[in-house]
């Protein structure tokens, strides 16, 4: 299922973006020169594509897959990558607490 998610996500992001696996079941899209609103639109596109995708288990049963997404952007030129990742992680946790299968933007 992770491979199928990665395939959907790779097709959902823009050609200028790249997708990195960031842990067990976590992925981190890197979107250079992108404002927060645009990043949120791209992330929502990925979320909705995953929600309607035809994903099958090894025995060919259809599996419902959803994603919780946190979106963050550099707050200032001096902002650190660690701070960016922390804000995105907090937004993911807020999405999960809010019921999953949703996107939360760190403002």
Domain boundaries, the chain: 2-105
Residues serving a catalytic function are: 25
Q: What are phi and psi of 28, to 5 degrees?
A: -130, 105
Among 46, 8, 22, 26, smallest CA distance to 96 is for: 26
CB 39 within 8 A of CB 31: yes
pTM above threshold 0.85: yes
Average pLDDT score over the chain: 92
Chain segment 89-104, per-residue pLDDT in tens: 999 999 999 999 999 9
Chain segment 62-82, per-residue pLDDT in tens: 999 999 999 999 888 888 999
In this prediction, residue 78 carries a pLDDT of 82
| Residue 42: its H or E element | helix 36-52
Q: Tokens at residue 89, please? A: 């992680």
CB 87 within 8 A of CB 72: yes
- Under CATH, which architecture does the 2-105 domain have? 2-Layer Sandwich (3.30)
């Amino acid at each position: 299922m992770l491979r199928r998610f990665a395939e959907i996500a790779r097709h959902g992001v823009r050609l200028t973006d790249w997708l990195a696996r960031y842990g067990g079941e976590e992925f981190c899209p890197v979107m250079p020169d992108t404002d927060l609103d645009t990043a949120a639109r791209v992330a929502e596109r990925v979320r909705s594509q995953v929600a309607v995708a035809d994903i099958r288990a090894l025995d060919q049963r259809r599996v419902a897959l959803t994603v919780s997404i946190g979106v963050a952007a550099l707050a200032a030129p001096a902002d650190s990558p660690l701070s960016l990742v922390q804000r995105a992680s907090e937004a993911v946790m807020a999405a999960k607490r809010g019921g999953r299968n949703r996107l939360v933007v760190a403002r």
